[in-house]
Amino acid sequence: MIYNTIKTSPVLKFSMDMIYSFVPCDNRAKAYITALTRAMNLAENGDRGRKVLVYVSEKNGTSCIIHPKNNHDPIICSMLHDYKQNMFFLQVQKIAQAVATDVVRNGGALIHGGLCSYKGTGAVMAGPGNVGKTTASNRLPAPWISYSDDATLIIPDGTGGFNAHPWPTWSRFYQDGPGGVWDVKKSIPLEFLFFLKQSETDYVEPLSKDQAKAMLIDTMEHLSRLLRFEDKEKHEYIEKCIRSAEKITSAIPAYRLGLSLEGEFWREMEKVMPKAKKFEKPGYTEKQLPIEFNRGKVHFIYRGPSMNPTFYEPEMLTIKPYNGNKPKKGDVICYRVDHKDESIVHRVVKVEESGIKTKGDNNTYIDDYMVAGQSVIGRVVASKRGNKTRTIHGGFFGVLEMYWCRGCRKIRNFISKFLHDSYNYLAVSGIFRKLKPKKMVFRLAVFEKYPLVYPKLVLNGCTVGTFDFRQKSWKINRPYRLFVDEKKLPVFERPDDI
């Protein structure tokens, strides 16, 4: 193969370590790169980064993409000599897919969802085909901005967060379609994931990390069907998708977004998204800071288990700055410490001249660091869980709430240990299965991501049990095990190549 001798090529730059230059190896390949350049709004500004070599094969058959394991070696795209519109743009799409695949192998994700932003904050509306992504993207009013309606490329920003890039809707080029231009170089800080569902009413409900992860993997798999992998390559690619999905859903809150035919669904999105300008502070990433200022208050998405049962992820907390006042014992505060990478919400247990001692309501020990006064962002004064908003007390009443949480935790642990054997006996005996309400119908759902499978037990759309491949048994949440006959559930075998 002979490299093209031109000095400049179209370059796509995502970050300092993710730069791709598209190089035609013969004159016939220039047509593919020209079409790609127009669709992605690229410019010829050098011959930098990893080369994507495009050439037209003389052999009959299918196009081929070769991904070398060494990240410094070029990606090779073998195209067919076919200039019929549908086939032509299908091959252009494969060149773009080759880049996306390389990004996925380096920690990114290409997901089936439209990219939009609200006052500078990025969000993805994801879902399967025909769920309404394009319609929803087109209906967004100002100040909303829609960048893509079908696909989004997500890339780590190097600080624990993620940036999103619009991706072309290639179906617009088929069947004499209108085509289009997408500014793929544009980077939007990604803060929210919305998984779409058609509904009679508009609503937003938070998803657990496991739910969000499964849905995100599914949307990533949708866009990988175009690729032709060998079995081993497919397995490696899916593993990369799973790892990326784990990191993304651990860092970004996810919601189910119900879409009605004529409702203003974006109003529901705005309830959980920031409405004012974001922070820009050296050394801190945007996701590590509070996400909204409104009339002197800060809105913050709570994550993690340390404040259970006072808060559960992903509640929205309202934080009020102290404005010169000092925190009191019992206050729930939001703060930063030097050795932590993100904001923390814990309760004040002691106030000293040298600083503040804190503790999570669900933690056993007091935090092993002292919080300086200037590190405190403010006091949590309210919390919104679903559609319910409640007041969070501080001071004396906060102390009472702290002791209440501790007492509840101890009682819960004691009862759990005391009733453990009894619970197992009742589950095995089947007494409660005879009393099970007719409306309680369990459904077995198996999500297949070749060669992986994800068996789940579902009740009313919620996962209540999963299959443990190591133990070769089902793990069913309390109290649902009382109503399920585990012996009648199928046993799954893990694929040999996992």
| DSSP for 111-178, written as a single string | ESEEEEEETTEEEEEE-STTSSHHHHHHHPPTTEEES-SSEEEEEE-SSS-EEEEEE--GGGGSTT--
Query: What sign results for the dihedral spanned by CA atoms 233, 234, 238, 244?
Result: positive
Shortest CA distance to 445 belongs to which of 433, 430, 460?
460
Q: pLDDT tens per residue, the chain (498 residues)? A: 444 444 568 889 887 678 898 988 888 888 899 999 999 998 776 667 888 888 887 665 566 777 776 767 888 888 877 667 778 888 898 899 889 888 888 889 999 999 999 888 899 999 887 788 888 998 899 889 999 999 999 999 888 889 999 999 988 888 777 888 999 999 999 999 999 988 888 999 998 888 888 888 888 876 665 554 444 566 677 778 888 888 999 999 999 999 887 889 999 999 888 643 333 333 323 333 333 333 456 666 676 778 888 887 667 788 888 888 889 999 999 887 765 546 789 999 999 888 899 998 888 888 888 888 888 888 999 887 766 788 998 888 888 888 887 787 777 777 766 677 777 778 888 888 888 888 888 888 776 544 456 688 888 767 788 888 777 888 888 788 888 888 888 888 765 433
- Give the closest residue to 371 by CA, choosing from 324, 332, 323, 315: 332
Is pTM beyond 0.75 here?
no
Which pLDDT does position 193 carry in this prediction? 95
Which residues are CB-contacts of 312 (< 8 A; sequence separation ≥ 6)? 302, 385
209 CA to centre of own chain: 9
For residue 78, the model assigns a pLDDT of 83
Contact, 286 vs 161, CB < 8 A?
Answer: yes
Please give the torsion angle defined by the CA atoms of residues 108, 278, 114 and 386, in that order, rounded to the nearest 10 degrees. 100
Residue holding tokens 């990893």? Answer: 50
According to DSSP, the β-strands at 332-335 and 376-385 are antiparallel
Three-point CA angle 234, 235, 239, nearest 5°? 115
CB 9 within 8 A of CB 18: no
End-to-end CA distance of the chain: 36
Amino acid at 456: K
For residue 54, what are its two tokens? 């495009």
Q: Give the rounded distance of the alpha carbon of 219 from its chain centre.
A: 11
Closest by alpha carbon to 290, among 390, 191, 208?
A: 191
pLDDT of residue 451: 47
Torsion of CA 58, 60, 64, 66, to 10 degrees: -50
Query: Helix 231-251 and helix 85-105: axis angle, to 10°?
Result: 60
Q: What is the pLDDT of residue 116?
A: 94
The kind and range of the H/E element at 433 are helix 431-434
Tell me the C-alpha distance between 202 and 186, whole Å: 30
pLDDT, residue 453, reads: 64
Strand partners, 139: none
Going from the C-alpha of 278 to that of each of 59, 121, 188, 467, the distances in angstroms are 54, 8, 13, 42
Beta strands 355-359 and 376-385 are unpaired
d(CA 482, CA 472): 20
- How far is residue 142 from each of residues 120, 183, 292, 303, 399, measured CA to CA in Å? 12, 19, 19, 30, 45
Contacts of 162 (CB under 8 A, 6+ apart): 154, 155, 156, 189, 190, 248, 251, 252
- Rounded CA-CA distance 283/295 in Å is 26
Between CA 411 and CA 420, with CA 417 as vertex, the angle to 5 degrees is: 125
Strands 50-56 and 75-79: parallel
Quick one: pLDDT at residue 222?
67
Nearest to 82 by CA among 32, 39, 10: 32
Q: So what's the pLDDT on residue 126? A: 93
pLDDT at residue 288, rounded to an integer: 34
